[in-house]
Structure 1
Amino acid sequence: MKRMENVDILPMAAVALMVVLMMMIIAPMTMTHTNTPVDVPRAHTAEAKTEENFTITYTKDQRLYINDQPVSPESFEKIVQEAIEKDPYQLIVLRADKEVLHKDVLEILAKVKRAGAKRIACATKKPKGE
């Protein structure tokens, strides 16, 4: 009968824990936050932002921002169209305050679709306790 040798998994577990620790330290540093104050609604499907996005912000006082830069409603569609021409598959993130009218958000989405956007997302926050 042949004796089975024991495999020591302690070094592998130590390396795995070090990798997890490094990711926990580095992950918050890579997250980007915008400066325009908007209280986005909560949703169960909220996900963390993982890539550099084209962010459209619509505040409760009905101001439009693109990547935290104020934009007039007249030039909004043209600016979005120019960005989409550079990268048609760029993710467009709409951050609308939860106090704005639904029809206003739909109008913004329609303009973004007319400009040729292929990937559009609405920003939300996870509900408390999840």
Structure 2
Amino acid sequence: MKQLQILCQQEEKKLSQLGLQKTTAQQQISRIEQQKQQLGQMISDYSQANSRCASAMLLQNNAQMCQVIEPMLKQLTRKQLLLQQEQQRVHGLWRKQLGRQQSIQWLYNERVQQHRQLQQKQEQKQLDDLAARYVRA
């Protein structure tokens, strides 16, 4: 029974670690989404500045900035997709681990309950035996 209790604790620890991985991935995805929005806003700002700009040098600067920012945006999008795939993978592992942990916990609780019932039966038998001795005496 002690081994089953240790196994329960190990499974809970694994579940906790997977939960932490899920949370970390979600936070990274959120940060990337914010960065993408900021880069998108920068591209929008530079593009709008082109329509108001009369100087050829400023037009060229704005165009170059957009050319620099766009690959960064694409790279963040790729990174975000990879993180989302990893998060889905970890979520699947977490769900399996949750099922495993709950099953082992259920088995442990069943064994504890069976052990208690056996102890109660033994105690009742001892009490019945004692009562029978007193009745005969």
TM-score, length-normalised on structure 2? 0.27
The structure with more strand, counted as a fraction of residues: 1
Greater RCO (Cα-Cα under 8 Å, separation 6 or more): 2
Greater Rg, structure 1 or structure 2? 2
Relative to the length of structure 1, the TM-score reads 0.29
Q: 1 or 2, which has the higher helix percentage?
A: 2
